[in-house]
Structure 1
């Protein structure tokens, strides 16, 4: 049918002509969708603000030959404003939506959509440190995509843990016999934090210290970029800026 409805998260936008935008959304039913929103850059636009990054909307679209056109948008989750006014939240959300786009550039994946909406909702609420929300999202998104990291038994030989050596290329912790040259040794608290982030145990995650968070963030970032087979622009840009 030429006219359809779906709900989606706005991942990014770019200008088109003088008043239009191309909006990239991750939708519940259709997966990744790129559609034109006509006139949304005009101050008189009725739904331009509903199609900003990190917003969740129910959209009505008309199928086109190359790009579909968004004809209506109703806000389902106004996460854009509280995220965009805080740099740390914005930085975390940028990494999350770029990851979602990279993982969803294919068949629809409703579980990825649901995970991203929940992560943006948590981020917008501001009750959990943005970096923890980001790292938890990265680990769980990669797990949904089929790359579940292992932080208990040795991922190479199965030797019972606990282990503190991590090899991203092998997918998690390894024992002393299976160690790879250059593999970092993490604090036990950092391994525990990675376990908590993977299952969404926020009580344990929030109780972690700064050292554990820093080590866990490095593993979450490296694990994600290894499996995506190239760096995340948003993650690397923010890392360079903080140097």
Structure 2
């Protein structure tokens, strides 16, 4: 009799463990990498769990049921089974395929790629909740896909807001060192704008309109951002990219493609000005 009781308890325990090891969450696919001959490791920034790495088994096979649903940019609903080192993705449903709208537009695609890489770098620990970073990423990709604002403005707004959520918001209204309102320059090392007395050697001296644009992007004032001049957008992009990469301590590889596109656009604008 005692053996039967213990046996039933063991069965119930295994069933309970199975329920506990399964979990569901929604997230955005950040990147993928090959594993073996048919599998992939999928890195996802999820809404509740944080950054998760899961194995999608057999997705590289031609007849895979959900391989196409686990591509970067895709907002998905996932079911995963907890593993010792990597979780296993058992179910996936597409919520919003942002990649479909981005892959056909090079400026938006490169901006989106830089967003994914930045989200991956800013959420260092796995399975550490990062709800605000997740919401920022979803909002940024949605805005990019809608095409209502210039791609580099959306990207710079995402950079500034994600840095602010991570605790690295640049000072833009008053001196980062002494709090004075009469700002004269922008110093990455100092943490933002600085006054004449606190200005270190090598600090950039952007136009007042460029700082105003950074403030608008950080606040989400799209009316002011959309009305900005191209030269101020270019200057803003350079400062924001440098500030981001200094805090991450490593370069964002995707930014090289964004910067090339900005250079080409600047050349086109200069050519149009010379030959109206």
Q: TM-score, normalised by structure 1?
A: 0.94
Is 1:3 equivalent to 2:22 in the alignment?
Answer: yes
Report the equivalent of 1:129: 150
- Runs of 4+ with >2 A deviation: 41-46, 236-243
Aligned CA-pair RMSD: 1.6
Equivalent pair of 1:19/1:39 in contact (CA under 8 Å): yes
Is 1:113 equivalent to 2:134 in the alignment?
Answer: yes
Is 1:47 equivalent to 2:63 in the alignment?
Answer: no
* 2-structure distance, mates of 1:237, 1:126: 19
Larger Rg: 2
Pairs within 5 Å for 1:158-177 = 158-161=179-182, 163-177=183-197
- 1:120-177 CA distance string (max 9 Å, x none): 110111111111111100010000001111111111111114x341001111111111
Equivalent pair of 1:164/1:187 in contact (CA under 8 Å): no
Equivalent pair of 2:39/2:59 in contact (CA under 8 Å): yes
Equivalent pair of 2:184/2:199 in contact (CA under 8 Å): no
Report the equivalent of 1:61: 80
Structure 1 gaps, min length 5:
none
Match of 1:149 among 170, 190, 207: 170
- 1:61-117 CA distance string (max 9 Å, x none): 111122111111111221011112211111111111111111111222111011101
* 2-structure distance, mates of 1:138, 1:50: 26
Report the equivalent of 2:228: 208
- Cα deviation, residue 237, structure 1: 5.3
- The structure whose residues are more often helix, as a share, is 2
Call closer, same or farther: CA 1:146–1:179 in 2, change over 3 Å: same
How many corresponding residue pairs? 242
Equivalent pair of 2:111/2:258 in contact (CA under 8 Å): no
Q: Secondary structure at the match of 2:43?
A: strand
* 1-structure distance, mates of 2:74, 2:224: 29
Report the equivalent of 1:74: 93
